[in-house]
Amino acid sequence: MNIDFSKGDGLVPVIIQDAKTKNVLMLGYMNQDAFDKTNETKKATFFSRSKNRLWTKGEESGNFLNLVSIKSDCDNDTLLVLVDPVGPACHRGTGNCWGESNDENNLQFISSLEDKIESRKNSTSEKSYVKSLLESGINKVAQKVGEEAIEVVIEAKDDNETLFLSESADLLFHYLVLLQAKGHKLEDVVNVLRERAK
């Protein structure tokens, strides 16, 4: 990663985003030393302009921002840092520095699940259920969705809500796998529904 620290007198702005919820948590600044320390310790470290020193988020509170990944923008002068936060991101106790919570909504979870399915699909080293199912071919994936759909129908006729929800979760998961096998995501289906709702 070739970061251009020269534009900001040795500093680049850093957008901190929760890797799971996708919420923006805060904005900070890094110099080369802060960038290096972040990569070394796997905890988001910034250059504090007010303290004029390196500062690791959580060094006093314990509310660390554990590093997931770092991306540079198209001009190599701004960073997007995905983190797994430990506790609130703001020193005032809120989920982000704009006074908002950092709750994950259901659509964000589905998006994260789709990313995980895609990661397993493209993995060259990891053997997983998803990878083996996809490698078995589209007919097997489609058959699995059909089997899960039948199980949902059967459980819908009974009074066991736990089993009904469990089978519904299995159906949704395998449907997401089928969408990936066909080169789509749930958003593509939602777009069709949006068009129909006009």
Q: Write out the chain's pLDDT in tens, 198 residues.
A: 899 999 888 999 999 999 988 899 999 999 999 999 999 999 999 999 999 999 999 999 999 999 999 999 999 999 999 999 999 999 999 999 999 998 877 777 888 899 999 999 988 877 899 999 999 999 999 999 999 999 999 999 999 999 999 999 999 999 999 999 999 999 999 999 999 998
Q: Are 22 and 108 in contact (CB under 8 A)?
A: yes
Please identify, in words, the CATH class of the domain defined by 106-197: mainly alpha
Give me the CATH topology for the region 6-85.
Ubiquitin-like (UB roll) (3.10.20)
List the domain boundaries for the chain.
6-85, 106-197
Q: CA 31 from chain center: how many Å?
A: 26
Q: Beta partners for 81?
A: 16, 70
Question: 12 — phi, psi (to 5°)?
Answer: -125, 145
Question: pTM for this structure?
Answer: 0.64
Task: Quote the pLDDT of residue 28.
Answer: 96
Q: CA 173 from chain center: how many Å?
A: 17
Q: Beta partners for 47?
A: 54
